Amino acid sequence: MNIAANTTTSNTSAWELAATAPELAANRTDEQIADWRRLTERLKQLSEEKGWSKAEAARRIGMADGTFSQWFSGKYSGRLDTTNAQVAKFIDQQDEQASFFASIPQSPPYFPTRTSREVMEALAWAHVASDLVTITLGAGMGKSQSCKEYKARRPNVWMTTVSEYTKTVNAMLVEIVATLGIHEHNPARLVRAIGERLKASGNALLIIDEAQHLIPEAINQLRHFSDLYECGIALVGNNEIYDRVRDNKEKKRTYAQLRRRVGMRLDRLTPYPEDIAASIAAWGIKDDACVKLLTGIGKKPGALGQIDKTMRAATMLALATGESVGFKHISAAWKNRNVEDFA
């Protein structure tokens, strides 16, 4: 069985407007032709912004490729009112979504915390020393964001996120192949292709986020990459990374090999007080009552992520009334989220 990575790229160069408009006929009016011209121009602009090919745009609109091609080129002989209406409905939906997303408060940009600096140091060690590190932090403590920031700052860093659906060796390899942009379709050659790609960079770091989902054999395969191809590997997630192998008697050898090979282990389940304070300050909150409430929220499971989600909701509440964010908005946002009884 061949497994291919998704290497399809969008072709936006083909978005050229038709030189001539559809001919006036019994089944179309001047107004419909004017609408067609307006819609083709708007769709071209939208598709180029999104990086869509004509085939992708047709798929999203729900129109057959042939019909869409003829409509866009002005050669469609059918009724323009129905095809125009279908495209107009799609464009209106896209504009409505863009307007809605624009109104959603954005989280503050990346800001350094004590924990993020520790994550950066662990990643730097794996990168420079071509070593294997594990980074296990509690939920909402910014491990993924810190990894993305490190990736943005350094060359030859790749980051793959796994899940319960990609936890096996083969599924994980397919995800890594896609991340590295490798065009290898033979499952039997995936390991070698990945290893050679990492080694060829001269100094590579592969970050595996949500690594707690991986089965022991997949973790052992990553250890193999580090050993054989001299690249850095960072297993990022929660403490289940170790539980996956340690608590399985049949995998004791895998756990022993992993423990011996780990060059650095960062393990923290709760945020530092200064990290909570930095997260609150990043939202521009200075009122003592608000700070106290958000500090309590930041100490709950979900940590800094809880502060972020609560503040985004509070900002929406404040915007609806034209007020500045205050205690009543934060309190109401926390109450409305109603996550206290989540297991």
Per the prediction, the chain carries an average pLDDT of 87
Torsion of CA 172, 176, 177, 180, to 10 degrees: 180
Q: Calculate ∠ Cα 290-295-297, nearest 5°.
A: 100
Number of domains the chain contains: 3
* Domain harbouring 74, CATH code: 1.10.260.40
Q: Is the pLDDT of residue 121 over 50?
A: yes
**Among 21-35, 99-113, 282-296, where is mean pLDDT lowest?**
99-113
Residue 244 is predicted with a pLDDT of 64
pLDDT tens figures, 29-40: 999 999 999 999
pLDDT band at 251 (very low <50, low <70, confident <90, very high): low
Residue 277 is predicted with a pLDDT of 96
Please answer whether residues 305 and 140 qualify as being in contact, where contact means their C-beta atoms are separated by less than 8 angstroms. Answer: yes
pTM assigned to the model: 0.70
Burial of 178 (0-12, 13-18, 19+ CB in 10 A): middle
Count CA within 13 A, CB hemisphere, residue 239.
Answer: 6
Q: Is the pLDDT of residue 309 over 60?
A: yes
Please answer whether residues 319 and 106 qualify as being in contact, where contact means their C-beta atoms are separated by less than 8 angstroms. Answer: no
Question: What mean pLDDT do residues 71-97 have?
Answer: 91
Tell me, yes or no, whether 20 lies in a domain: no
Burial 287-318 (b: 16+ CB within 10 A, else e): eeebbebbeebbeeebbbbbbbbbbebbbebb
Q: Tell me which of 103, 128, 163 is where a domain ends.
A: 103
Residues near 337 by beta carbon (within 8 Å), at least 6 away in sequence: 309, 310, 313
pLDDT band at 245 (very low <50, low <70, confident <90, very high): low
* Domain harbouring 196, CATH code: 3.40.50.300
89 shares a domain with 196: no
Backbone angles phi, psi at 133, to 5 degrees: -125, 155
Q: Which percentage of the chain shows pLDDT scores above 70?
A: 88
pLDDT band at 272 (very low <50, low <70, confident <90, very high): very high
